Amino acid sequence: MRKIFNRTIKLKVAAGMTMLVFLISISCTKDFDELNQNPFQPTQTEIGPLFNSVVQSLQLGWNEQFYVHNEVLYKQSQLGALTSEAWSNLSIGTEEIWANYYQALAHIRDIEKRIEDLEKEQSPESLNNLKGMVKIITAYKTFRVTDLFGDMPFFNAGRGFESLDYVRPEFDTQEEIYKYLLNDLKWAAENMDYVSDSINGEVYYDISQFDNLLYGDLEMWVKFANSLRLRHAMRMVEVEPDLAAEIIGDIIGNELPVIEGYNFDSPILESVCMWPRQQAWLRQSASWSFREHKNLRMGSVVWHQISSHDSLDGSGIFDPRAFIFFESNNEGDWVPYPQIPEPNTPPAGGIPYGNHRDLNYTIKGEDCIYSPFNYYLTRDEYDVPEVLITGAEVHYLKAEAFMRGIGVGVDEQQADLEYFQGARASVSFWKNVMNGSEIWINIDPGINNTNDFTIPNLIYMTEDKLSLLYAQRWLDAFRQPWEAYALARRTKATPREGDPIDHFRLPYPPSEIENNPVNTSTAISRQGGDEPMVKLWWIP
C-alpha cells in the first residue's frame, strides 16, 4: 500500500493558493534573478508549452481512479459491481482532482494574461484560434469538476500570481459557470478559422506544434467545442429547457460540425482522447488502480445488458463489447457479481488484475469466481486511450433530441438512425482499441460470434426506445464512469437494480474547507449541505 500513500496529496492548498509559494519566492529572489538572467535564453515559459501542460493535465489521476472511479462511480452508476468497500479515503481522490484542476487553471490564467499582452502587439482577431483552443480546454476541465462537486471557485480562481487578493476566491454557482462556459464554447466554434492561415493579411498565432491533443487540427477543435455544447446543454435540459433547446437546435438545425461516429454505413470514428503512445506517456495509473484496489467485477446489471441469458459459457452474449470490457472467471465461466448481494453471496477474490498475467494469462486465482474487468483494458499502457468524447456519444445526444423534441421536432425515424449509428460507432471504436493494442493477444473467440448489428436493431423490438437509448449511452461510457454517473443522475433511467440513485455529488476536499473556510462554508450552505444526497443545479 506504500504507493497509495506516496501518491496522497500532502499539500493542502485552496483554489487560488497554488501560486502563493511561487509569489513569495519571486519577491525574495527577484533582484538576484534579474542579475543572473541569460538574455539569450529567456527563462519565461511561452504560451505553447504552457498550453501543452494543460493538455497533460487531462490524464486521469492515479488516486482519482482508485478512490473516486473504482470505489464510488462504478458502484453508483452500476457499470460495475463493488464486491467490497475496503477503501474509505475518498478525500485522497477528491484532493487530487481539485489540485489537478487548480494547478492547470493557474496555467490557463497565465496564458490568458499573455494573450492580453499579445493583443497590444497584433490584432486580436489573429489570436482567435489560440483563444478558442484555450476556451475549449478550459470548458472541458471545468465541466468535469463542477459536475462532480457543484459550486466551485472559477472566475477569480487560479489568479494567485496576479494578486494575493485572489488567494481565497469565492465559490461561483454551477449555473453561472455552466452558462459562461457554454457561451465561451459558442464563441470558440464561431470564431476559430480552420480554412485560412491568416485574417486581414495577418497570420494567425499558431501553437500547433504544442497541441498534443488534436495536433493543430482546428476543425477538430471546432467539432470538440460544438460537441461539448451539445453534451452540456442536454445535461441541463431538465432545469433550463429553453436555453438547452436553443443550443441543441442551433447545433443540429444548422448542421454545425461535431465529432462524428458513422455516416450511414461509413465509419468515421472521430474522438477526442488521450492516446498514450502518440503523446509519449505511459498509462500506468489504470493498471495500478485496478491491481491495488482489486474489488471491481462485472455486475449483474451490466451483464443483463450484454447477454440474453445466464449460461456460464457465455453463449447468451450478443454484445461484442462484452469481450472487451470483461472476461470470464478463473474457470472460464461468465459469472456476474450480484449488484445487490445477499448476505450469503460468496465473496469475490482472486488476482485477476495482477501483472503476473503478462506471462501467465490464465491464472486469475482459484477464488476468482466472478468475471473481472478485462485485464488488457486496464493493463495496456500504450494503446488504450483515456476518452474525453467520441462520435458515438454525439449520435446518442442527437437521438435523444429527436426522440424528445428538444430543439428540433420529434422525429422517430431520425432518432432511430442516430441511435443505430451511435451503437455501431461505439462497437467499432472499442474493437479498434482492442485490435490496436500490441499486448492484447488473448482475445475471447466469442467476440467473433456476435453481430455488430444486434445492438442497434434492438431499438425496433421495444416500445421503450428512450430507456434503450440511455442504456446504450451508459454502456458506451464504460471507461468514462463520471459520464455514466452524470447520465444516471440526470435521467434516473439508466439500467439499475435496487433503489433509485440517491448519490449526487462528491464532498469538497478537506484542504479547501481548511484553507478557504468562509467561502466554502457559504457555498455549502447555499447548496444545502456537503453530503452526497445534495443535488447539483442541473439534477431534476
- Residue 301 phi, psi dihedral angles, 5° rounding: -65, -55
CB-CB contact of 489 with 298 (8 Å): no
Residue 27: how many CB atoms within 10 A of its CB? Answer: 8
Give the bridge partners for 263, in sequence order.
266
Determine the pLDDT at residue 9. Answer: 36
Q: Which residue has the cell 483515456?
A: 386
Per residue, what are the HEC states of 78-106? CCCEECCCCCCCHHHHHHHHHHHHHHHHH
Cα dist. 171→149, 295, 523 in Å? 11, 35, 6
Determine the pLDDT at residue 19. Answer: 38
> Residue 110 is inside which H or E element, if any?
helix 90-118
CB proximity list for 55: less than 8 A, separation 6 or greater: 137, 211, 212, 213, 279
Grid cell, residue 392, equals 458515438
Q: Quick one: which of 393, 328, 395, 330 has its CA closest to 364? A: 330
CB-CB contact of 522 with 84 (8 Å): no
CB proximity list for 320: less than 8 A, separation 6 or greater: 427, 430, 431, 447, 450, 452
Grid cell, residue 71, equals 470505489
The span from the CA of 374 to the CA of 376, in Å, is 6
Cα–Cα–Cα angle for 30, 31, 37, nearest 5°?
A: 85
Determine the pLDDT at residue 460. Answer: 66
Domains of the chain (ranges; CATH) run: 2-275+385-415+465-493+513-527 (1.25.40.390), 279-384 (no CATH)
CB-CB contact of 162 with 24 (8 Å): no
Cα–Cα–Cα angle for 79, 83, 89, nearest 5°?
A: 90
The span from the CA of 503 to the CA of 76, in Å, is 7
Determine the pLDDT at residue 45. Answer: 56
3-state SS class at 141: helix
Residue 235: how many CB atoms within 10 A of its CB? Answer: 23
The span from the CA of 4 to the CA of 8, in Å, is 6
Q: Which residue has the cell 488484475?
A: 353
> Residue 283 is inside which H or E element, if any?
none
Grid cell, residue 465, equals 426506445
Grid cell, residue 313, equals 459459457
Q: Which residue has the cell 489537478?
A: 100
Determine the pLDDT at residue 86. Answer: 77
Determine the pLDDT at residue 200. Answer: 92
Determine the pLDDT at residue 38. Answer: 36
b (16+ CB within 10 A) / e for 447-459: beebebeebbebb
The per-residue pLDDT string of the chain (540 residues; one tens digit each, 9 = 90 and over) reads 333 333 333 333 344 444 343 333 333 333 333 333 333 333 345 999 999 999 999 999 999 999 999 999 999 999 999 999 877 899 999 999 999 999 999 999 999 999 999 999 999 999 999 999 999 999 999 999 999 999 999 999 999 888 888 889 999 999 999 999 999 999 999 999 999 999 999 999 999 999 999 999 999 999 999 999 999 999 999 999 999 999 999 999 999 999 999 998 899 999 999 999 999 999 999 999 999 999 999 999 999 999 999 999 999 999 999 999 999 999 999 999 999 999 999 999 999 999 999 999 999 999 999 999 999 999 999 999 999 999 999 999 999 999 999 999 999 999 999 999 999 999 999 999 999 999 998 777 778 777 777 777 776 667 799 999 999 999 999 999 999 999 999 999 999 999 999 999 999 999 999 999 999 999 999 999 999 999 999 999
